Structure 1
Amino acid sequence: MRAYTTAHLRVDLPQGHPFPLYKYQGVAEALKGLLPILPAPEVPREALHLAHRPEYVEKLFTEGLSRQESLRLGLPFSPSLLRRALFAAGGTLAAARDALELGLGLNLSGGTHHAYPDRAEGYSLFNDVAVAVAWLRREGFRGRVLVVDLDAHQGNGTAVFFQKDPTVFTLSLHGERNYPLRKERSDLDVGLPDGVGDEAYLYALDEALEIAQAFQPELVFYNAGVDVLKGDRFGRLGLSLEGVRKRDERVFRMVKTLGVPLVVVMGGGYNRDPRLTVEAHAGTYRLALSSLA
């Protein structure tokens, strides 16, 4: 068992920018000694072309993003940003291959679920899960795929990627009034009110996972964003650390019941207390290892 990280990569950001680069190094440090943590490999450009519009991919490599497009992304475009996105997507693809071989794949990055086939949004240049699924299909995997997206924000890009694909079921449990303001249609969307706490959240999750389980997937991707924690700068929900643990426990129990491979990607986490963000993310990966490895 191993995990992949982009902690060794830096991004040129303006001083005070809220993107939480600190957490990638923090989570890798927190998991040291539990398993090998490897630098994520770069995703093949061919894999990007299988999922994203080729003209969008080539634009990123030649022109980059305009000022307006960077505003939609929420990050200033730079070669370092593109480089990091390539390795984050490569980590998810490597983790997906591990999952099919070993039963569990871990990327300590990824979960960039706001990227559309033809554009960047919400800190997401490439949709790493869509890229990984497209490449696995090319390699011959034909099984049903379930995407469990429990980031605080709807996986709008992911929903669009798979809306016409009956072999992929997308579940998004998110803040109803949070970003993105215009939601896309997942196979199952569960919108929650601002400030929802552990009990109501877990009740909604139990119902959603029961529906998703009936799809009988043969591979599961789990976007384990911890921006659901109370005190997150952007999440607007109200879970405790124990609530996040119980959330993860339910997902891993479902995967174990189904007896299928699981890929875990990091997703969002922007708590006002950076230690909580790192602790919650690291807790997800520890629990995955103890439950499924």
Structure 2
Amino acid sequence: MKFKEIAPSQKLLKNNTPKQSSTLISDVIALIKLRVLIANVLPVFVGFWLALYFNNRSFAEHWGLFLLTMAGGTFIMAGALILNNWYDADIDKVMDRTKGRPTVTGNFSLKAVLNAGIATSVIGFILLLFTTLEASLYGVIGWFTYVVLYSMWSKRRYTLNTVIGSVSGAVTPMIGWAAIDTAIHPVPIVLFLLLFIWQIPHTFAIAIKKYDEYKAAGVAMLPVVHGMAITKRQMLIYITCLLPLPFLLYPLGIVFIVISSLLTIGWIVLCVRGFFIEDNWKWAHMNFLYSVNYLNILFILMVILTLPLFGN
């Protein structure tokens, strides 16, 4: 559904925005959205690691390729995040959680941020080209989806922005896998589905927490446009869709299937509770924390369960 976009004449960023005290390091961290960046780099590592495992290859023989893959993935994702900051500078001024970004405070000029985003993206793409063409292709798909299809086109207009944006995060393990072997393989495809589905209820939880800010900024998040009830229902649907995925990763063993299934069931129970409580912020915050730990536990578990191969 279309949502009213802030017209150019209503842009909220002023050239005379007062600067806020900060350090260069803190500004750079805010510009590249360090926490988001790390969360997206981890699946690249997991994809690379599992590709070695399932192709019976040694990490010691591919450490150079590993460094190129991680550096390329990090740079191209950092470039996308920087460009998102550049494009969203006007609405970032409205939202409390983004008011400290250097594009809002004026510590970095928008032109400098644009140039930095382009340069960082290009460096990342070039580095990935030194791995495989397929890995670099997934990097470009993720970049284009996040910068153009999500940030510039759908974020302010359509509630489907969450679904569209989820594609960019979902291709990350395919970058890592494709550096070793083609990602047209059941495991990286399941990892793609896992991340794609996971991101939607995770993002909805954030949207509920920051409902007032998104509404003030004119961002077409689902709870802002259609309300809390439909958002909770959709969260439950997407979380339930995670249930069969561990069984598609059966080569990782019964331990993975059991733990991941229990984690998903726990998340479903937490989600259902949302239909019977009035404190939506607290419930959304609990879902946010659960979703972050859910994904981290699954990825760490994948690595742990495949460690014996590398000890041989």
Same fold, judged at TM 0.5 (above)? no
| TM-score normalised by length of structure 1 | 0.31
Structure 2 length normalisation: TM-score?
0.30
Of structures 1 and 2, the larger Rg is shown by 2
Q: Considering fraction of residues, name the structure with more helix.
A: 2
Q: In proportion to residue count, which structure has more strand? A: 1
